[in-house]
Structures are given as structure tokens and as C-alpha cells.
Structure 1
Amino acid sequence: MSLHSPKEIAAVAIQSGVTKSHLSIPSLLILGFLAGAFIATGFLLDIHVINQLPAEWGSFGGLLGAAVFPVGIILTVLAGGELLTGNMMTLPIAWFARQVSGYSVLRNWFWVTLANFIGSIAVAWFFGHLLGMTEGDYLKKSVAIANAKVHADFMHAFISGIGCNWLVCLATWLAFASKDVVGKIFGMWFPVMAFVAIGFQHVVANMFIIPAAIFAGQMSWADYLPNFVAVFLGNAVGGGVFVGLAYYLAWRPQNESVTASR
């Protein structure tokens, strides 16, 4: 079959978490930088698609932007990258299965967070600021998106973060389900498109759009910090609890039952 069963997917996710826990710091930094840049590029594409759409198109315009955003996670999963939000599911489920230590989870999250941030702000600075791809004609849209994120209070940003990473980690889960490239792309596409169209908050995507507004002189790093904390925690709950823990408790998979196909 070209598809893993749900219980097999859980075993694949555990094996993925084990593999990630063994990566060296240089590998985490390189792959994390790439993933941060990939997600930022997907967001940049989203902004360029929706920027000039007529206002009367309403939410349909947002849907068009959401439809192109998934290029970031597709590049991350298929080309190779370490993305914090996905690792908020794969490392915890491996820990629940007692295949990795709690230290390994925190180690991975720390270095991947740092690398994702560097990759995201590199795109925001070089493409967004220096090339003007989030400024000039695009500034109003970029700042409106960033303002909506930083002005959400802690509770709303936290809950939004849960919803986001529930969907993002389900996208990763469906990518594990398929054994072919086309199936992986389709499996990832719709959950990611859904979180963007709904407007949920993604900690790595925010590492691009909020610094882009900061580089344009429209807000400060102090404005960003509370958002980062709230969305990080919400994403951790969405991925680790609503996907990782839920499916671990449902299936109790054995680590050795399926070899990870990534």
C-alpha cells in the first residue's frame, strides 16, 4: 500500500523524533535556518498574492494567499529542514514512548528555535527590507498582518497558537501517512492552508512578519516578545498534546514497528 495506517503513522512519528534527537548542533542550525527561511518565503509569497486583490473579494482573497503559503512546509519536509512547530509533535511523542529524554526534547527545541529565527529574519531583512518586498507597495499589508498578531492579548494568542499547531502537526502527520511525494504534498497542503485562512498564529511565521514590520520602523522588539511567548506555548500545546499525546494514548505504538519514511 502507498499509505500507512494511523497506528503506523504514530510509529513513524516516534522514529522521526528519535532521529531528530540525535542530530548534531551544526545540523540543527543548518536545517533550522533553512526551515525558517522556507516558512518565511511561503509567507512572503502569500503577501505578494493578496496585496493588490480588490477589497470586495473579501475572505476569498485571503484564501488565495493561504493556498500558496504551504510551499514553506512542503520545502521543509521534502527538501529537508528542522521546523520548530513540527518538532513540537515528533519529539514529545518520542518522549511519551520513552525513546528520547526530556533533555533531548528541550535541546532540539532550543537550537531549532534559534535557527528558525535566524532563517526567518534573514528573509525579512534581505528580501523584505533591502529588496522592499514587505515595504513600499507591500508595507500596508505587511504591517496590518503584524499588528493583528502583536495586538492579540496573551490568552487569544495562546489559544490561536494551539489551533495553528494542531493543524500544522496534522499536516506533518498526513505527510508521514503517504509513501509518495504527491501524497505527501496533498496531505500537507490543506491543513496548512486551513490554519492560514482561519488566521491562527504560527511562531515561526511570526518570526518573519513581525520583524519585517520592525525593520520597516513600524513596531519594536518589545512589542514582539509577549506574542512570541504566547504563541510558542500555544504551538507547543497544539502539537505536543493535541497531536502527539492524543495519538500516542490512542495507539500506544511501538518504535520499531515501522521505519520512518522521510
Structure 2
Amino acid sequence: MSNPATINMAIADAYTTAEAIELVSRAGVKKGNMRLDKAFLSAVSAGCLLSFAAAASLSANTAPWFQANAPGLIRMISALIFPIGLVMIVLAGADLFTGTNLYTAVAVLHGRLSIWKMLVHWFICFWGNLAGSLFVTAIICGYGGIFDHSPYRDQAIATAIEKQVSPQFHQIFLRAVGCNWLVCLGCCLGMQGKELISKIAGIWWPTFASATLGLDHVVANMFFIPLGIWLQTPGLSVGMYIWKGIIPATLGNMVGGAVFCAGFYHWMFLSEEPENPR
């Protein structure tokens, strides 16, 4: 295998997996060393973009006949729309908490970034994503009245119940592990592409799989659950969301992204390479 630190620009179609993980490591160094104000604003942007995609996916899922007769089919159709969010975020260079679980973790494992800088970037991204998500939830969708009337209101409430009220703590945690495992894989595959269509395809399919399975993405849930609270979903409160939503989803996403994806690919392709500060 060639040294992944040497990127072969002559190959026209795509980078190898080893080369892509090297690029992920370099991206993690850049993200981890961003100015805090820029990191926060970038994260706010990512929260907004993912919320727009979540809203579009929720609208597509609003199909009462399909929900009653072909729930798997309408979930798949809705899931085909959801990856728009991650595509916009990656191509626009915005910072998503779940994505940085991959990028900065690989950079830390590669010896290029300190654990402290990684954790600071995670912290800034989390709160920036939350701010952006709440802005779209309250201002655009809430006061904008997008989900005020049936059947859209009914579907938004049903989604909040399905994602937050019904499942147990450990179920949300385990779903979140699987979710960010797939989402971060999408980031890796997107990094392999050398042109726009390849990047979009690489990002799309793992994210589609995650959404089809109904896995839990902490930032996407920053739209779905607060919208449910806004619409006065029975049995749903801010306290429940924090304890049984944010905490297990955040921890699960961190494990899925930093361990199952970053840890695995670093071990496979970068662990035997010398540390490189580039």
C-alpha cells in the first residue's frame, strides 16, 4: 500500500480509502485550530442547514395513506431527502458536531491535534448546531406556521413521540451509535470523491441508510424534538428531551463517530504511518 500521506493527484476518479483518511486527518487539524468565533458561526450554519433538510424530510413523510398502508416505503422516500442536509454542510464547509467527531478524532489519533483542542471544537460545534437548529425550528417553522395544520402537525407530533417519548434511554444511545457510524462513513466516502457528483453520492447513501432505519442523530433531533415541544406533543417536555434525548444521542453519536469510524479507519490506514504535523 502506498503511503497515505502522499496523495496521488493523477488518479482521475477517486482517492483511495487510505488517501481519503489522510485527507480526513488534515481536515481535522484545520477544524481543531479554527478561531472559536468562526467555528461557532460555521456550526450555527450547519445546524440551520440540517434543520432545513429535516423539515423537508418530515414534510415528505407526511402521507397518511402511506403511513397506514406502506410505512416502510414512505420512510424510504423521506430518507432519500434527508441526506440533502449533510451534502449542503460538507460542500459548504460548515461544521457539524457529529462530523467533527470523525475529523478531529482522526487528527488526534494521528498525533496532529491535541485532545483539548478536539474537545473544545466539539463543545463549540454542539452549541452552535443547537443555536442554528432552534432558530430554524422557532423562527422559520414555528412562527412561520409550516407545521401548524394537519396532516403536517400530526406527523411532526408522531415523529417526536416515536423518537423521544416511546424509546428508552439505552435504545436512543444504541441508535445514535449506528447513526453516526453511518454518517461519518458518508463523510469519509465523500472525501474520496474528486468531483462534485462523486462527493454527493458518497455522502448520500450511508446517510440514507441511517435515515431509513430511523437512527438517532443528535443534531437532526435538535429540530424534530423542539418542534414537537413547540407543537405541544403529549408527554414531551424540555426536561425529558435533555435527559432522554440529548444525553444518550450525544454520547452514542460520539461513540459511533470517534470509535467505530475514526478509530477503525485510523487503525486500518494511518496507525503504522509516522506522525506528520502537516
The TM-score range, normalised by the shorter chain, is: over 0.9
Deviates more, 1:23-32 or 1:162-171: 23-32
Q: Specify the code of the residue in structure 2 equivalent to 1:240.
A: A
1:82 aligns with 2:116: no
Q: Distance in 2 between matches of 1:34 and 1:200?
A: 23
> Who is 1:36 aligned against?
47
Q: 1:140-174 CA deviation, whole Å, 9 max, x = no partner?
A: 11111111221321211111000000000000000
Of 203, 220, 238, the residue aligned with 1:221 is: 238
Match 1:97 to one of 110, 114, 123: 110
- How far did 1:9 drift? 1.1
Superposition RMSD in Å: 1.5
Match of 1:246 among 264, 275, 278: 264
Q: How many residues align?
A: 258
Matched, 1:165 2:176: no
CA contact (8 A) 2:225 2:241 kept: yes
Alignment counterpart, residue 143 of structure 1, candidates 154, 157, 160: 157
Q: Which residues of 2 match residues 93-242 of structure 1 at below 5 A?
A: 93-137=106-150, 138-151=152-165, 152-218=167-233, 219-226=236-243, 227-242=245-260
Check conservation: 2:190, 2:202, Cα contact below 8 A: yes
Q: 2:37 corresponds to which residue? A: 26
Deviates more, 1:31-40 or 1:47-56: 47-56
C-alpha distance in structure 1 between counterparts of 2:209 and 2:147, whole Å: 23
Contact kept, 8 Å, 1:162 with 1:239, in 2: the verdict is yes
- Greater displacement, 186-195 / 132-141: 132-141
Larger relative contact order (Cα-Cα within 8 Å, sequence gap ≥ 6)? 1
Q: Which whole-Å CA distance do the structure 2 matches of 1:85 and 1:134 have between them?
A: 27
Answer whether contact 2:111 2:275 (CA < 8 A) is retained.
no
Percent identity over paired residues: 28
- Offset at residue 255 of structure 1 (A): 6.6
Larger displacement relative to structure 2 (127-136 or 219-228): 127-136
Contact kept in structure 2, 1:129 and 1:215, CA below 8 Å: yes
| Contact 1:165/1:235 (8 A) holds in 2 | yes
What is the CA-CA distance between 1:256 and the residue it aligns to?
5.4
Distance 1:189 1:53 in 2: 26
Paired residues of 1:12 and 1:255 also in contact (CA < 8 A): no
**Cα distance change on mapping 1:164 and 1:98 into 2, 3 Å:** same
Relative to its length, the structure with more helix (as a share) is 1
Deviation string, structure 1 residues 72-126 (Cα, Å, up to 9, x no partner): 0111011221000010111111111111111101100111000000100111111
TM-score (norm 1): 0.95
Q: Is the contact between residue 14 and residue 255 of structure 1 (CA under 8 Å) also seen in structure 2?
A: no
Other structure's SS at 1:115 match:
helix
Query: Which residue, 74, 85, 102 being the options, matches 1:72?
Result: 85
Give the residue type in structure 2 aligned to 1:115.
G
- Shift of the 248–57 alpha-carbon distance from structure 1 to 2, 3 Å rule, reads same
Q: CA deviation at 1:14?
A: 0.5
- The runs of at least 4 aligned residues of structure 1 exceeding 3 Å deviation read 253-257
TM-score (norm 2): 0.89
* Contact 2:111-2:276 within 8 A present in 1 as well: no
